Structure 1
Amino acid sequence: MMKFLFIALTWAVLNWVCLDNPTEVMVKTQSASSPDNQLSPDEAQARQTVISFLTWYKNNFQKANRIQLVNQTQGKPYSVNLKNGERYLTYLKSSHC
C-alpha cells in the first residue's frame, strides 16, 4: 500500500509541477530562494538535487508519461499497474539525482 501511495503521489506532484511550465517553475524556485551563499551545505545540496531532477524531468517527462500507471479496461474498475509503477520508479531513479 505504501508503494502505491508513493507512486501515486510522485506521479501527481511531478505532473503538476512539470506540466504547468517546468522552466517557469525552475525560475520561480531559483528566484524565491535565498542565494546559495546563504544556505547551509545540506540545503545547497538539496536545492541543487531538486533543480537537477526538475531539469532532467523537463527533458524526459514525455517518455515517463508513456508508462501506463493505471489499468483502464472498459467495464472494469480502474486499477494500478504495479509492474509499470516499478518501471516508472526505475525510470525516475535513472536520473541519478
Structure 2
Amino acid sequence: MKRTLLLAAVVGLSALANAQAPAKPDPAKAKEIVTQICAACHGADGTSPTSANPSLAGMPADYITTQLAHFKTGIRQNAIMQGMSSTLSDADMVSLGAYFAG
C-alpha cells in the first residue's frame, strides 16, 4: 500500500514538473494575425463593421481563447471560423484573446 502511494506521488509530481506553462500573449504577433485574418470581419480593434459578425473588443481574454480553440477542434461549429482558426497555435489564441480583451 505504501509503495503504491509513493509511486502515485512520484508520477503525479513528475507530471506537474513536465507541464508546460501557459503561453504569454505576444501583442506584435496578435496584431499581425488580426491584420491578416480577423480585421475584415471583426474590425482591426475588435469592433465589427457589420452586425452579422460579433464585436470582440472588450470580451474576456479567456472567452476568446476558448472559443477559438473550440472552433479549431470542432467543438463549436462554424465553417468560416473553423477555417480561420485551423492554423492558429495555442500561443496565437492566447495572444488574440489578450489583444481583443484590451
Compute the TM-score of the two structures, normalised by the length of structure 2. 0.27
Query: Which structure dedicates a bigger proportion of its chain to helix?
Result: 1
Answer 1 or 2: which has greater strand percent: 1
